[in-house]
Amino acid sequence: MNIRIKKSQPKRIMIVNRGEIASRVAKACRELGHTAVGLWTDNEPSAAHLEFCDEWVHLEGSSNAETYLNIEKIVSLAKEHNIDGIHPGYGFLSENGKFADALHDAGITFIGPHKEAIRVMGDKATSKALARDAGVPVVPGTAEAVPSVEEALKVANDIGYPVLLKAVAGGGGRGMRACANDEEVKKQFEAVGRESKAAFGNGDLLVEKLIVNPHHIEVQIMADKNGNVFHFFERECSIQRRHQKIIEEAPSPFIGSDEELRQRVCETAVQLAKAVNYDSAGTVEFIMGEDKNFYFLEMNTRIQVEHPITEEITGVDLIICMIQSAFGEDLQIPNQEWIKKTGHAIECRICAEDPITMLPAPGVVTGFETNFPQGVRFDHCLYRGLNVTPDFDPMVGKLVAKGLVRDVAIRKMRSALDGLYIEGLKNNIPLHKVVMDDPVFSEGQYTTDYIKEVSPQERIETDMDFDSIYRKLAAAEARNMGM
């Protein structure tokens, strides 16, 4: 099911990002008839996303602070090149209210939600209070930051252990610590506050009830500037390391065939988005206990890394919708019932990291080959010679497999992982293979504790299959010689 693409007045859209998301946005811009303007920096002069852009602009600098996080420099470049709109992708300035303000003042469209939505939903305490006022269930705990360890202890004893100390302005798994008793709260309170201050510039903490055997369920929403808000069903993102997702599925295997629960979760996400007058792509994240009660966690006011699996089961291009919404255009979605889900999709994040320790492993790609079955999509930034540095997130691609049912999607993903060959760069493909073969994963009842409890990394084969490696190297060398 595809949305009819209605041609609008051509715009010049600058993509303030890099890697696979920059390529993804550039393709959507060109499909709509807009000019995609890509950025290159001093440490990525030949970035892969540039080949999908119509124009290239030099963003001078070799660090994130000098380039992708430099609001003044980006706005100045946008003015110089007559840019109509900026798409921030995810990460960097995608959820930065000051950036949205600066663009507004410069008369440039921010391809994302309005600045007040970014501000309100970007603060965990404020967003939790809004959710509570909107009738959205929230995890028991504080609505505002606790001022002292004494107050944290009082709250913890009121709601009962275990509890979670959580940074007000946190994200990406940082600034979070579970505590099982008073002593652990006393021990961790100042440490988590320091970590949060260093990472986010804000050391304020919340105290929340820790949900046992939790599932991370999130709902994709899309809204326009006319008050229309739609959901595109849910995703399960419970396989995580260090509170960061590595495998996602749509729809959630834990919710399964419980359509009444699915409808309640998705309608709750729409309810929250309407409460903040949302007007772009966004994701409402919930934590769901083993009893299937669910609670609001946070809202990401941007497109998510895992948006492709939602696109695969709904047939809707979310980036295109996002661009249309930003310029006040009709999304051409008549009603919620028009959006249907078909089949099952799984995404594996391909990262430059050690598959056993799951720590970043920078390096240079010396070879890259793919051989995928039908029903596989690979959004990536890989090419031979790519130097993956510690400057950026270690994710280099997103492998997506779709099947009519979940078992088929798993089978296709396992085959696709066998068909993805990256030479010279340590990566987590071996970890994904073990997970796809694991019966706990196959049953679909895994929780966010999967990596810790199941430990798939301990079953990774460390002995090299030299025959297989030599065959792949020989094939690659033959292709290089034109044979």
In the chain, domain spans:
12-111, 140-209, 215-467
Give pLDDT, residue 483.
45
Give pLDDT, residue 4.
53
DSSP 351-378: ESB-TTT--B--EE--EEEE---TTEEE
Give pLDDT, residue 466.
45
Angle separating helix axes 71-80 and 97-105, nearest 10 degrees: 30
What superfamily would CATH give domain 140-209? ATP-grasp fold, A domain (3.30.1490.20)
- Using DSSP's 3-state secondary structure scheme, residue 200 falls into helix
* List 18, 302, 349, 406, catalytic entry: 302
Fold (CATH) for 12-111? Rossmann fold (3.40.50)
Task: Give the bridge partners for 141, in sequence order.
Answer: 208
Residue with the two structure tokens 């240079």:
364
- The C-alpha atoms of residue 443 and residue 450 are separated, in whole angstroms, by 12
CATH of domain 215-467: 3.30.470.20
Beta strand segments in 224-279, E: 229-241, 244-250
Mind listing the pLDDT tens digit of every residue in the chain (483 residues)? 555 555 568 999 999 999 999 999 999 999 999 999 999 999 888 889 999 999 999 999 999 999 999 999 999 999 999 999 999 999 999 999 999 999 999 999 999 999 999 999 998 889 989 999 999 999 899 978 999 999 999 999 999 999 999 998 866 667 889 999 999 999 999 999 999 888 888 999 999 999 989 999 999 999 999 999 999 999 999 999 988 999 999 999 999 999 999 999 999 999 999 999 999 999 999 999 999 999 999 999 999 999 999 999 999 999 999 999 999 999 999 999 999 999 999 999 999 999 999 999 999 999 999 999 999 999 999 999 999 999 899 999 999 999 999 999 999 999 999 999 999 999 999 999 999 999 999 999 999 999 999 999 999 987 555 445 545 555 555 555 554
If residue 439 lies in a helix (H) or strand (E), which one and from where to where? helix 439-443
- Using DSSP's 3-state secondary structure scheme, residue 379 falls into strand
Neighbours of 285 (CB within 10 A): 17
| 406 included as an active-site residue | no
